[in-house]
Amino acid sequence: MKNENLIFRPAARADLEGIVGMLADDSLGRTRENPDLPLERSYEEAFRAIDEDPNNELIVAEADGKLAGVLQLTFLPSITYRGSWRAMIEGVRTSSAMRGRGIGREMIRHAIGLAEEKGCRLVQLTTDKSRPDAIRFYESLGFRPTHEGMKLRLDKGDGKE
């Protein structure tokens, strides 16, 4: 599905409350995000760090003038693959009110296009094993589970990974 009224742009500070709201609006997000206002300072600090880093992009999708989705795209230089760049996609969410319209698919395609423009050799992402629909979605876009991902929690918070 092509969304004629869908635009992608860098996130602005004014989007932050809506972004955190989208991140918190699912079963896993509810356990690790806090959309209560005013937002915790850590969200402001993270937004500022991403915004100031030329290798990070926080991208929002707007549909019909409303916040429809978000993702973070990080460009990583690498010694592997002959010193090539790779792109990491994180924090992908579509507004629950706009799911099923192909917005997530268009966001990922947009991120892949940006990675190609940067000259990245590959695009990688992780998704929680408890999300079979997300796994199928990413596979439908050409992603393959070629590696076993591992994480080590450094904080002892109550939120899930």
Look up the CATH number of the domain holding residue 64.
3.40.630.30
pLDDT on residue 2: 55
pTM: 0.90
What is the total count of domains within the chain?
Answer: 1
In a domain, 48, yes or no: yes
In a domain, 147, yes or no: no
In a domain, 65, yes or no: yes
In a domain, 35, yes or no: yes
Report helix, strand and coil shares of the chain as percent, to nearest 5.
35, 25, 40
In this model, does residue 161 exceed pLDDT 90? no
- Evaluate whether 64 touches 54 at the Cβ level (below 8 Å): no
Domain span at residue 121 reads 6-140
In this model, does residue 22 exceed pLDDT 80? yes
pLDDT, tens digit, for every residue of 86-104? 999 999 999 999 999 999 9
In a domain, 60, yes or no: yes
In a domain, 67, yes or no: yes
- Evaluate whether 68 touches 98 at the Cβ level (below 8 Å): yes
pLDDT on residue 154: 93
In a domain, 62, yes or no: yes
In this model, does residue 156 exceed pLDDT 80? no
- Look at the block and give the residue holding tokens 């109550």: 158
In a domain, 153, yes or no: no
